[in-house]
Amino acid sequence: MSAPMMPFIDLAAQRARIGDQIEVAVRRVVRHGAYIMGPEVFELEKQLAAFCGAKHVVSCASGTDALTLVLLARGVGPGVAVLCPSFTFAATAEAVALLGGTPFFVDVLPDTFNMDPESLAAAVAEARAQKLNPAGVISVDLFGQPADYDAIEAICAREGLWLLCDAAQAFGASYRGRQLGTFGLATTTSFFPAKPLGAYGDGGAVFTDDDELAEVLRSLRVHGQGVDKYDNVRIGVTGRLDTIQAAVLLEKLAIFSDEISARNAIASRYAQGLREVAIPPVVAEGCESVWAQYTIRLKPGQRDGLVAALKEAGVPTACYYPVPLHRQTAYRAYPRAGGELKTTDQLAREVLSLPMHPYLTAEAQDRIVGAAARHLR
Which parts of this chain interact with ligand PLP (CB under 6 A)?
62-64, 88-89, 91-92, 140, 166, 168-169, 190, 192, 202, 204
Q: Strands (DSSP E) along the chain, which ranges?
A: 56-60, 81-85, 102-106, 134-140, 162-166, 174-175, 178-179, 186-190, 204-208, 287-288, 294-297, 351-354
Instruction: Judge whether 192 and 62 are in contact, CB under 8 Å.
Output: yes
Q: Count how many residues are written for the chain.
A: 377
Rounded least distance, CB 277 to ligand PLP, Å: 27
Q: DSSP secondary structure string, 255-322?
A: THHHHHHHHHHHHHHHHHHHTTTSBPPPPPTTEE---S-EEEE--TT-HHHHHHHHHHTT---B-S-S
Tell me whether residue 89 or residue 113 sits nearer to ligand PLP (CB atom): 89
Tell me whether residue 171 or residue 359 sits nearer to ligand PLP (CB atom): 171
Q: Which residue is nearest to ligand PLP (CB)?
A: 63
Tell me whether residue 171 or residue 270 sits nearer to ligand PLP (CB atom): 171
| Beta-strand pair 186-190/162-166 | parallel
Rounded least distance, CB 226 to ligand PLP, Å: 27
Give the C-alpha separation, 99 to 88, whole Å: 19
Rounded least distance, CB 329 to ligand PLP, Å: 19
Tell me whether residue 89 or residue 105 sits nearer to ligand PLP (CB atom): 89
Tell me whether residue 202 or residue 259 sits nearer to ligand PLP (CB atom): 202
Rounded least distance, CB 168 to ligand PLP, Å: 3
Rounded least distance, CB 326 to ligand PLP, Å: 15
Rounded least distance, CB 63 to ligand PLP, Å: 3
24: left (phi over 0), alpha (psi -120 to 50) or beta: alpha
Tell me whether residue 102 or residue 189 sits nearer to ligand PLP (CB atom): 189
